[in-house]
């Protein structure tokens, strides 16, 4: 039954690529479908569905840390470029 969920989420992500909608909304929805696929794979193949909460939190702690570190560096992309690559 796991492969059905993964197939549906993959088809949804692929369909979102061709949908005529705002690019930011499209990117957000695709990231959400990818995170849902990650959770399905972690729950089934890593057997986290049957584990205690402590092991689950230890498993997802690097993901939480990556989101925090990304949030620190992401605002720097809104400013002007500090270096330019010129092709001659």
The tens place of each residue's pLDDT in the chain, 88 residues long, gives 888 988 999 999 899 889 898 888 888 888 889 888 888 888 788 776 777 777 767 777 888 888 888 888 776 666 655 656 666 6
Q: Is residue 88 part of a domain?
A: no
Q: Is residue 49 part of a domain?
A: yes
Q: Is residue 31 part of a domain?
A: yes
Q: Is residue 42 part of a domain?
A: yes
Structural domain including 22 reads: 2-60
DSSP track, the chain: -HHHHHHHHHHHHHHHHHS-S-HHHHHHHHHHHHHHHHHHHHHHHS-GGGS-HHHHHHHHHHHHHHHHHHHHHGGGGGS--SS-----
Q: Is residue 48 part of a domain?
A: yes
**Number of independent structural domains in the chain:** 1
Q: Is residue 21 part of a domain?
A: yes
Q: Is residue 9 part of a domain?
A: yes
Q: Is residue 37 part of a domain?
A: yes
State the pTM of this model. Answer: 0.58
């Amino acid at each position: 039954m796991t492969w059905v969920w993964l197939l549906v989420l993959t088809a949804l992500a692929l369909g979102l690529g061709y949908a005529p909608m705002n690019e930011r909304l499209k990117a957000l929805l695709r990231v959400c479908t990818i995170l849902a696929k990650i959770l399905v794979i972690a729950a089934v193949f890593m057997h986290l569905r049957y584990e205690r909460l402590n092991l689950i939190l230890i498993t997802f702690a690097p993901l939480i840390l990556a989101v925090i570190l990304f949030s620190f560096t992401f605002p720097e992309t809104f400013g002007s470029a500090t270096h330019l690559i010129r092709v001659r």
